[in-house]
Chains A and B, each alone.
Chain A
Amino acid sequence: MAITLKRWDRQALGAALLVAPLAIFVAVTFVAPLATMLVRSVYQPAVAEALPETLAALAEWDGGSLPDEETFRIAGAEFVALNERRALGSVATRVNRLESGMRSTLLGTARSLAAETPSASWREAMIAADADWGAIESWLAIRRAGEVITPRYYLNALDLDRGGAGEIVVQPEDRRIYVSLLLRTLAISIAITGICLLLAYPVAWLLAHARPRRAGLLLLLVLVPFWTSLLVRTTSWIVLLQNQGVINDLLVTLGILAEQQRLALIYNMTGTIIAMVHVLLPFMILPLYSIMRAIPERHMQAAASLGASHWQALRRVYWPQSLPGVAAGSLLVFILSIGYYITPALVGGRTGQLISSMIAYHMEQSLNWGLAAALGGILLLLVGTLFFIYDRLVGVDRMRLGG
């Protein structure tokens, strides 16, 4: 007993030692970057580090009436000092996200205070430089921008914000974009999964029950696009679908469409859906195929000989047995589509974008990294949950590459 236990332990240790290098590598180069992003979604120290004295003074302030003269003086002096170090711009951008107009207020005030240091009241001088300083909202915005740990980005990512007293309020209608985009992403992903299942099921059946030689040839037709570069496939769809592209040209040449009736097949949601179905279809066909291959065809024959019609046999005998493949393929396609970025970015135009494009936009264009990170966090939670379900239902070790 003692000997077997020891041997078992040694085997476990050996196995763990083999797995450890990759596990550590994944932890450092993959999990740590994701953790960095999640930290960024709640931890934003930049403003607090830039305006320590102003924020200390504002911490004492009641938030009900304008701050006192002393706070104005501390804040004004700190703005001027920051601007001289050319560091006010990034602070102003961050405050501006909470209260629009504050970027020019801060930069303009810093310039006029530097040109002429107030001899008497800083409060009057600053309000004279920009009337915004007479509004409580401006000071609340600075105080909130100075929070080091903040749920702000998650609130914004869900179209929420905090009111003056810190209560959670819904954003004004023109700023509500993320929840509807998230819902649209989910709806489009469900549609894509459904279309893929519809197209894949008969094909997988054909592959699974054809003679081996022919099945191998047909499988090749599925694998060629699977192996072809994603960017090549996207280029192909642009060539086919664009206004002066192959499909529109064909329809016009055949006289089905007039020259001015050319269809808008790309740079919109239609383009996104067509190209994504094309990219994701093999991920549906392959798991279905591997499950269907194990279903004996004589089950259908047995059902038929017992008097079932073709559809009855299909629905009550074949379909239930193919469900593991349906679940595996659908979950995989759904997981891949909710986070899809490349195809929508290239063929989606303005209206065919999904949630991932928003993350890219805030990473690259608006540079609102906190919001990008929070949107990423929400998407990650969604994908993580689905991956967990996939693991429970299908098992990650059942994943196969290309059949």
Chain B
Amino acid sequence: MSAAASHNHSRLRGWLHRGFCAAVLFFLVAPVLVVIPLSFNAEPYFTFTEGMLRLEADAWSLRWYQNVLGEGRWLPALGKSLLIGSGAALIATTLGTLAAIGLSSPALPGRGAVMALLISPMVTPIIITAAGMSFFYSDLGLGQTYTALILAHAVLGAPFVVISVGASLSGYNHDLNRAAANLGADWWTTLRRVQLPLIAPGVFTGALFAFAASFDEVVVVLFIGGPDQRTIPREMWSGIREQISPEILAVATFLIAFALLLLAAVNWLRQRDYAGAS
């Protein structure tokens, strides 16, 4: 094979590779974005009407957004989601951060097994978790309560905090603790004034993950939540299953904007991370 032919060959391969990747990335992103224009459909359809394609002004409308913001079920659902999500994120972040600091110490015996236990809620099929919790909380008389849902979402969110704070701590220089001790700081002061400020980006990232996990969780809500706990995912679930209306697309657009905000926040935090230089 001549050098020129081989060169052409590898260029062709490069283009094929890039074309394939573009197709895969399109497959990943396009379905998420397609709901945004459709949410402005003036008709109650889930596809582009001819008028929309011809960019006629009256084929587009904000009616579904008016419904979502005006009608009685999405705003209360938002309040419930925020309540459960922030309660769960608070518990998960507090317990998860402490645990991650403990796990970062090489002195901890049985580290691997403990880590596996703490991560297990993240990989256990949600249907099993939900079934077990529905037996458990109704036996305790806590079925259909906010308490049960906040506790359930906290334990599902904690692994995210353990992992993200753990990643932050992997770049942490433990000599700093010793230096603080030599300067007379006790353990609590060292944690509060030296270690926590340095790993704060990891802690906030974990909190965002835990909140997002709760904010999008539906199966546990279905199994242990009652009529009082109709969160946004719960409303979307019944919207998709029962009477799918373009209102859902408007809600979906809000949720996409929310996801982009979260992603931006996490990226911003990563750049400020102690270990983030890598």
Contact = CB atoms under 8 A, between A and B. Distances in A.
Given A12-B109, A228-B255, A383 B99 contact: no
A316 to B, nearest CB: 17
Per DSSP, are chain B's interface residues mostly helix, strand or loop, or mixed? helix
A206 interface: yes
Interface string B124-145: 1111110111111101000000
Given A239-B34, A310-B13, A221 B28 contact: yes
Per DSSP, are chain A's interface residues mostly helix, strand or loop, or mixed? helix
A244 B29 contact: no
A178 B32 CA distance: 34
Contacts of A16: 102, 108-109
B207 interface: no
Interface in B145-198: 151-152, 154-155, 158, 160, 162-164, 166-167, 187
A230 B221 CA distance: 15
A1 interface: no
B259 interface: yes
B199 interface: no
Given A29-B155, A36-B136, A239-B38, A339 B109 contact: no
Interface in A1-46: 8, 11-12, 14-23, 25-27, 29-37, 40
A17 B215 CA distance: 30
A389 B130 CA distance: 24
Interface in B1-54: 10, 13, 17-18, 20-21, 24-25, 27-29, 31-32, 34-35, 38, 45-48
Contact of B125 (A203, A338, A346, A391): A338
Interface of A: 8, 11-12, 14-23, 25-27, 29-37, 40, 199-200, 202-203, 205-206, 218, 220-225, 227-240, 242, 244-246, 249, 278, 281-282, 310, 335-336, 338-342, 346, 356, 359-360, 363, 369, 372-373, 376, 379-380, 383, 387-388, 390-391, 395-397, 399-402
B82 interface: no
B29 A14 contact: no
Given A22-B99, A401-B164, 5 more contacts: A199-B24, A231-B218, A249-B48, A359-B127, A401-B163
B131 A363 contact: yes
Contacts of A27: 117
Contact of A33 (B38, B129, B154): B129
Contacts of B57: none
A220 B98 CA distance: 30
A34 B124 contact: yes
Size class of the B contact interface (CB-based, 8 Å) = 35 or more
Contacts of A36: 132, 135-136, 139
B62 interface: no
Interface of B: 10, 13, 17-18, 20-21, 24-25, 27-29, 31-32, 34-35, 38, 45-48, 91, 95-96, 98-99, 101-103, 105, 107-109, 112, 114-121, 123-129, 131-137, 139, 151-152, 154-155, 158, 160, 162-164, 166-167, 187, 205, 209, 212, 215-216, 218-219, 223, 233, 236-237, 240-241, 244, 248-249, 252, 255-256, 259-260, 262-263, 266
Contacts of B263: 220, 223-224, 227
A18 B166 CA distance: 13
Contact of B158 (A12, A25, A278, A373): A25
Nearest to B258: A229
A376 B133 CA distance: 12
A8 B105 CA distance: 11
A35 B24 CA distance: 41
A26 B118 contact: yes
Given A11-B105, A231-B216, A232-B256, A244 B135 contact: no
B262 A8 contact: no
